[in-house]
Structure 1
C-alpha cells in the first residue's frame, strides 16, 4: 500500500504548490504584458493613425489610414499617405535606416483624400498636412475596442483556474498559453502600426505581436483538438504551433513573387498571422467536431457540445462577417470589436460547461471551495457575535490583556473552523476530500471476517462509503475457480469499469457508480481508484488462490475417501470372505487330522483368526461400517444410543432431525459429517453433561449443514487452547472447503459445520 500512498500525497502536495504559484504566474503575465505594451507603444511618438499592413491597405501607391486614435488632428479615416516630409514611402522603405522622430516633432504628410472609406486606390487630389507627434496613448485605443480587455482578462482568469485544478490536461495548459500570448498579440490588433512607425522603420513591435498572435491561434487549435481527447501524439502538439508559421511561409511563397513594390512585399512579410486567421478557426471547428463524434459517454458529449456550438457560431461570424469581407472590400460587415466580443460568449459557454456539465472535472473543486468559504464566513460571524455577546471585556482591562484575549479567541475560532470544515468535507464529498480516508478504505476491517469472500465484501462496502458511491460490484473470473460476484449498494449503471490484473492475468473487473445528485468521478479520482484497484486485485488474487487450494484439497480428500470406500468394499467382499472360508475349512479339517498334525492345524486356525480380526479392524478404520449399513442419520442414531447407554444414571435426550435426502452424499462429505456429529455428541455427553442434545442434518442443493446444540456447561471461557476434538472437527470441515463455527449459548454450546457437496471433480 506504499506506492498509492506516495502517489496520493505527492498529488496533494503538488496541488498546494500549484495554488501557491498561481498568483505569481498571473502577476508575471499581467506585468509582462503591460511592460511589453509600454515598451512597444507608449515609448514611441504617435501621429494619431492606426493602420494594418494587410495587402489591400498597403500597396504600391501608399498606406491607407484605417483608424484614428484622436479625431482632433488633420488626418481622416481613408486618407492615403503617399509621402512623409516629401519622401515617398517606397523610397523610405528602400533607403534604410529610417529617420528618428520624437515627441513634439512636426511631420508633413502628403496624402490623397478621395472622401470615401478606406481603399487601396489612393485616388483624389494630392494635399499636404502637418501632424504634431504626441505620446502614444494605449488606453484610448483600448477604449475604442471595449471587447479586447475583457477578453484578455477572462482568458487569463479561466486559463489560470483550470491549470491550477487540472494541470495535467493538455487542453487547460493550451488555454493558459493562449491567455498569456493574447496581450502580446494586442500590439498587432487593436494597436496596429502608424505611418510614423513605417517612416522610422519601427515595425518590430508589430512583427513580434503578430508572431505572438499566430502562436495564439496555434494554442487555441491545440485546446480545440485536445478538449475531447486526453491523449494526443507529440507530432500533433508540435504541429498546432508550427502550423500557423508554416501557413505564413506558404502565403509568402504564393504571393511574394507577384509583387515588385517594396511596400506591398513588406505588408505580406510582417502579417505573420494573416493565413492562420483564415484557416485555424475552421481547423478548430473540425477538431472539435471529430473529437465530439468519437466520444462514447453522454456526459462528455454534452460538455463538449456546450463549447462546440457557440464556437462554431463565433467562427462562422468571424470569417463570414469579418475576414472574408475585409479581404474583398477592406472593411468587415460587423466591427471587429463586436466580432471579438463573440468569443467572450465562447468563454462564458466554456465556463458554464465547466460548472454545469463537469468539463475538465473541476465542479467538485468549485463546490469544495464554496463549502470552505461558507464555513469560514459562518465561523467568523459566530466567533465575532459570540465574543461580543458571551465574553464582554471589563472596562478596566489592560490593552495588552485585551489583545491577548482577542488573539486566543481568534486562534480557537480558526481551529474550530478548520475542524468543522474538515468534517463537512468528509460528510459531503466522502474520501475525495481527504486522501487519507480514501486510502484507509481498503484497510482490513477490525472484526475478523469469517471467510476471504467476506473480507472482500467488507472492503467493497468500506470503499462505497468512503467515496459516497451508490453501487460497487466486483466480478472475479479467475481460471480454476467459479465466477465470484460481490456487490455493495443499490444497482446503478456503472460510470467507471476498472479491469483488475495481476501481472498478465486478468482477474476480473471493478464497477462503480456515483450516487445520484453527487459529483461524478473525476480524473484524479480515477487515478487513485486505479491505484487502490491494484491492491484490491492482489487481495482478489489471494482469494482466488486460496479458493483453488481449498478446491484441490477437497478433491484430494474426496478422492481419498472414495478410494477408501472402494478398498473397503474389495476387502469386505473379496479378501474377507476368502479368509473366512479358509478358517472354516481349517476348523472342519482339524478334528480329522492325524494326532501328529493337530498342533499345526490349531496354530493355522489361530493365525487365520488373527488375520481376519486385523482385517476387520482395518476395514472399520477405512470407513465407519455404520455408514454403509444404514446411512448417515442411522449411523449417528446408533452412536447417540451408545453414548446415552454409557451414562445410565443421567442419560441425556438426543433428538436427530433430518431435512433433505442423504442417500447420495459423496463419501468424503458423509464421513466428515459423521465424524463431526460423532465428536460433538461425545463432547456434549462426556464433558458438557448436557441434558438435551439437538442434532440437525440439513441437505440443500449445494451443501450439507451439521448442527449440534446442547444445554450443557459449554466451553470454558478461561481456556484459550481448543481440545483435540474441536481441532479435529474444524480440520474436517475446512479441508473440504467448508465452514466451522462454535457458538456459546445460555446455557450450552452450538456447533455448526457447513460442508459443500458440489465439487469440481472433473477438473
Structure 2
C-alpha cells in the first residue's frame, strides 16, 4: 500500500507546487465530444473554480446566468496575441502574489477585464470539492494493496495494484488539472500531459485485467511479452488520433488541446473492447468459478452505470437536481471495485453473484418505473392548471398507481432471470399437487416434467432403488449438456435413490445458495417415492395374498373333489349294500358295517388333515409355544438323532396370523436342519420386540456358503410367510458352525 500512496502523493506535491494558481480547472475535449473546445477566438472553457478569488464570483454568476464560463485571454490580451507567450512586457513566468488581467466572457458574451491575484494551489478547496474522487482513490489503494498481498502471483491482482498507482497520478489531468494560468506562461501543460499518460496506463491496466482475469489468456501464457500489448494499445490509439484529427486542428490553443489528449481515444474505444472481452470470456469459459467471477465483474460495472443513471440523470429529470451531488457520484465506482476484489479473491462468489443480480433487477425496475413516472407526470401536468398543489396531488396519485406496477415488474424480472429458485415453497407446492398414478414410472415422469418447467432444466433423472431385492426404476427426460447436480432422495431415515438435475444452456447452475431449494425438493420427491414404492409393495403383497388364497382354494377343492368326495361316495354305496343285505344275509352286514366304520374313521382323519392345513389344530388347543414343544418332544425323522428345544417367555397371546406363520416357519426350518445340515441340536427362540415377534432357529450343523440359494422351496415358503405379514426374513450360515434362520413378524400389541 506504500507504493499506492507515496508515489501519487509525491507526484501531486511536485505537480501542484510547480507554479502559481488562479484556482481554475480547465479540461481538454476531444473532437468527438460535445463539450466546448479550446480556441484562440472563443477562449478556454472553465470547468470549475477552487478557492474564493475574483474568478470564483465570476464563475458563479456565469453558471447562474446559464452561460458557459470562458476565459478569452490573459495578461490583458486575447489568446493568440500575447496571452500565451508569458506575462505582459515579457516580465517572465507568473509568480505567487502577482496579479494578471484576464479577459473573461461577460453575461452578454463581450470581454470583461478581471484582475486575478495568483496564489498557491488551493489544495484543500479542491479536495473538498472532489471528496468522492479522494475516497475512491484511498479505497482503490487499499483494495489494490490488499489483493496484491493476498494473491501476489495473480496477474489480475498486479493489474489492480498498477491501477491503484496510476489513477491518482492521473488526477493532475482531472480534477486537479490544468489551469488558465498554465496556458498563460505558468507551469505549462506538462503536469496535465503526465496525468493523461497515467490515465492511458490506467486504461492499459484495465485492458490487461480483462485479458488476465480470471486466468491469463492462452496467448499471454505462451508468449509473456504479449503482456505489454494491452499497455501499448492506448498509446497506439493516441497516435492514430493525432494522425486523423490532431493534425487538422489550427495552430494555437486548438492544436494544444489536441496534443494533450493522450487518454481520450482510450476512453472512447478501450472501454467497449474491455466489455467485449469480458463478455466473450464469460460465455466461452466452462469453469464454474471462473464464470461466476467474470459475471460478478460485469454485473458490478453495469450496476454502477445504472446507479449513475438512477441517481444522476433520472433524479435530475424528476426533481431538477441529482439525488447525489456531482462530486460524490464517483463513490458509485466503489461497486465495481468491490466486485473486482471479490472476484479476484474468489470470496463467496455464489452469494455475491446473487446480490449483484438482484441489485441489477431492482435498479432496472426503479429506472423503468421512474421513467414512466416522469413521462406520465409531464403529460398530466401539461394539461392541468398552473397550480403547485394540483401538481403535487397529481404526482402522488401517479406514484400510487405505479407502485403495483413496480412490484409486478420486479417480480417478473426476478422470475425471468432467476426463475422460481428463490421461492422454494412454490416449487414444492407444485410437486405436492402430483398424485400417485398406477405405475411408478408415470408419476416420476410427471415429477420430472414439473421440475423441468419450473426450474428451467434441460435434463432431469430420478434413479430409484426400492429395496435390496427390488428392481431399480430409472426415469429421465431431456439431454445432459454440462456436469449435473446430484441430490440424494431420503425419507423415513433411509435412502430411496438419487435425483439428477441439469440446467438449460445460458441458465444459472445450482450453487450453495440453492441448497434450501434442493433439500426441499429432494425431501418432497423422497416422500413421494417412498409412498409410490410402499404402494407398489402393498399392491404386490395383495396380489400374492390373492394368488395364495386362490391356490389354497384350488388345493382344497382338489382334496375335496378328488379324494374325500369319492371316498364319501364309496361309503354311501357300502351303506346301500348293507341296507339290501340286512334282509337277505344279515351275517354279512356286520362285516360290511365294520368296513364302513373303518373307512369313516379314515375320512375323519382326512378332514382333520385338511382343517390342520388351514390352521393347525394344535394352535387352537395348546397355543404356539406349547404346540411347538409338543412337536419337539415327539420329534422323529427316522434316520436322524437331532433334538430341538423351544425357548420362549411370555410371548402370548399372539394374533392368529402371526401364530400360523411362526409355527410353519419353525417347523420348516427344523425340518431343513434335520434333513440337510446334519445337525445334532437345534434351538428355537421366540422373543417379543416392540415391532413384533422375533423368531430365531439356530442349529449346529455343517453350514453352507450359500444359505439362501435361489429356488429353495422351503426358504421361499418361509420368506413368503414373513413378508405376507410385512415382516423380514434372513438366513445366516457359516461352514462348520451351523445355520441361523431369523424372522420378524410384526403386529400391533395394542390391538390384543
Q: Give yes or no for TM over 0.5.
A: no
TM-score bracket relative to the smaller structure: 0.3 to 0.5
TM-score by length of 1: 0.40
Q: Which has the larger radius of gyration?
A: 2
